């Protein structure tokens, strides 16, 4: 399961997707919408994606994980559109026979997403809006940049 | 013709989500130059994907290809 969706993500379904008899561990990462960044208050986030490429890249990340950590199964769902505080933007579930691989593979998946998968978020603050420019969230595109 | 897809702040800056470039063949570097000169886009940090795969400046884009300008991503 590698999907880009607009409706709320069913976390349970993502987890079910990777569970099986020989799994000894399932690690789940849930990226959620944070209200406060420093002293700035977020009202909501708007995500957009280059959908076909983003979906293909999520599947590719799954393939890379399978190669690097044999025996793991990965599922990734990213939501786009408007997301309110506390909602899940991304859910990554990885199962493996032993927990170490599931932890490592899950971490790898989120780092790859933040670096490479064509998805963008726009912060809607109490007083304005900003496209967030990189995975460290240290660069933003304000009017002076564009 | 080469189709160029725009996202995030680039889409907002140009005011449309795609452009049609009337060229039969050009390199990624040439497309970058065109975007800077014709649309005044700041694309230093922007990656370019050709037919949904990341490309480098020396790659060649042909008539019928779909190009996407991909600003630094912020998913997750």
Domain A2-141: give its CATH architecture.
Alpha-Beta Complex (3.90)
Q: What is the pLDDT of residue A145?
A: 36
Chain A residues with CB-CB distance to B75 below 8 A: 47, 49, 54, 78, 89-90, 113-114, 117-121
| ipTM rounded to 2 decimals | 0.95
Chain B residues with CB-CB distance to A52 below 8 A: 52
Angstroms from A121 CA to nearest CA on chain B: 6
What is the DSSP code string of chain B?
-EEEE--HHHHHHHTSSEEEE--SEEEHHHHHHHHHHHH----TT-EEEETTEEE-TT-EEETT-EEEEE------
Q: What is the pLDDT of residue A144?
A: 35
User: Rounded mean pLDDT of B37-53?
Assistant: 95
Q: By the CB < 8 Å criterion, does A133 face chain B?
A: yes
Pick the CATH number of B2-70 from 3.40.470.10, 3.30.565.10, 3.40.50.1980, 3.10.20.30: 3.10.20.30
Contact B70, B46 (CB under 8 A): yes
Residues A10-60 pLDDT 10s? 999 999 999 999 999 999 999 999 999 888 999 999 999 999 999 999 999
The dihedral through the CA atoms of A13, A16, A18, A24 has a sign that is positive
CB-nearest partner of A50 from B12, B68, B76: B68
Note the pTM of the prediction, 2 decimals.
0.92
Q: Do A114 and B72 touch (CB under 8 A)?
A: no
Residues B60-76 pLDDT 10s? 999 999 999 999 999 99
């Amino acid at each position: 399961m590698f999907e880009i969706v607009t409706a709320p993500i069913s976390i349970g379904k993502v987890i079910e997707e990777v569970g099986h008899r020989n799994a000894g561990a399932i690690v789940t990462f849930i990226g959620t919408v944070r209200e406060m960044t420093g002293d700035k208050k977020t009202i909501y986030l708007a995500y957009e994606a280059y959908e076909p490429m983003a979906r293909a890249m999520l599947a590719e990340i799954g393939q890379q994980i399978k190669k690097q950590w044999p025996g793991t199964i990965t599922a990734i769902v990213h939501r786009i559109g408007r997301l309110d505080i506390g909602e899940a933007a991304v859910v990554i579930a990885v199962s493996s026979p032993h927990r170490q691989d599931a932890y490592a593979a899950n971490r790898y998946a989120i780092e790859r997403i933040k670096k490479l998968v064509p998805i963008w978020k726009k912060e809607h603050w109490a007083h304005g809006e900003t496209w967030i420019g990189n995975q460290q969230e240290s660069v933003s595109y304000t009017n002076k940049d564009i | 013709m080469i189709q160029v897809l725009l996202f995030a702040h680039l889409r907002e800056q140009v005011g449309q989500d795609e452009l049609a470039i009337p060229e039969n063949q050009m390199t990624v570097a040439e497309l970058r130059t065109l975007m800077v000169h014709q649309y005044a886009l700041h694309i230093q940090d922007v990656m370019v994907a050709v037919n949904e795969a990341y490309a480098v400046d020396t790659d060649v884009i042909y008539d019928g290809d779909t190009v996407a300008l991909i600003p630094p991503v912020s998913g997750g």
